[in-house]
Amino acid sequence: MSNPRKPRASSQARIQHILSAARSLLSEHGLTQLSMYTVAERADIPPSSVYHFFPNVAALCQGLTEEVHAAFRACLEAPIDLPAHATWRELARVIEQRMLTVYRQDPAACQLILASHAQADITAADRQHDEQLGQRLYQLFNQRFQLPALDNPVDLFTLALELGDRVYARSVQLHGHITPYYAEEGMRVFEAYLGLYLPVYLVPQSHRSD
């Protein structure tokens, strides 16, 4: 079976232009002001051009969700410079700081992922991406430490991420952004949940004796 054809360069540029317009509207007004017509107006193109690539607002938001989670994946793929004797909590703190940076640099991500909304399609897409991030988190911890036997380890790391996001979401809903207090509380929740399953000290993989 042949792979699906990628959009032509001109179409890809138009898609990106539409998503950029939607992103700017989200940053300024949240989901309440996001419609196919407001996006078309912001992008300075006919509404029919928006509908050509995105059938509805949910599809637009799913496209933006893809971009946000691509940024999260990139921050997890970047090299992590920690000493060999670093603890798993230090690794967790570096990871959460990076993910907080994504949120802080992208107000649209806060509105899309954290702000209260009732878009079931967006929530489902976000959950699917969270599972991919949970898989990568598990790999990072497993590469650095000798982990104990865990039931559903990917689910464990995915839940830790989602619980931290719940705290950040409360901050966005109350204050419009992630405050320093809620940033710290979200990181504590992330670490505390992992701490239910991980011992205080994990042996580094570099100490493995085969």
Q: Residue 124 above 70 pLDDT?
A: no
Q: CATH classification of 59-201 is 1.10.12, yes or no?
A: no
Architecture of domain 7-55 in CATH? Orthogonal Bundle (1.10)
Q: Say what the pLDDT of residue 198 is.
A: 96
* Tens digits of residue pLDDT in 37-81: 999 999 999 999 999 999 998 888 888 888 888 999 999 999 998
* Tens digits of residue pLDDT in 139-156: 999 999 999 999 999 999
Q: Say what the pLDDT of residue 118 is.
A: 44
Residue 1 pLDDT class (50, 70, 90 cuts): very low
Residue 2 pLDDT class (50, 70, 90 cuts): very low
CA distances from 196 to 142, 165, 166, 191, 203 (A): 17, 18, 18, 9, 17
pTM score of the predicted model:
0.83
Report the distance separating Cα 173 and Cα 5, nearest Å: 40
Decide: 42 and 108 in contact? Cβ < 8 Å: no
Q: What are phi and psi of 204, to 5 degrees?
A: -65, 150
Domain boundaries, the chain: 7-55, 59-201
Report the distance separating Cα 52 and Cα 165, nearest Å: 33
Q: Say what the pLDDT of residue 157 is.
A: 96
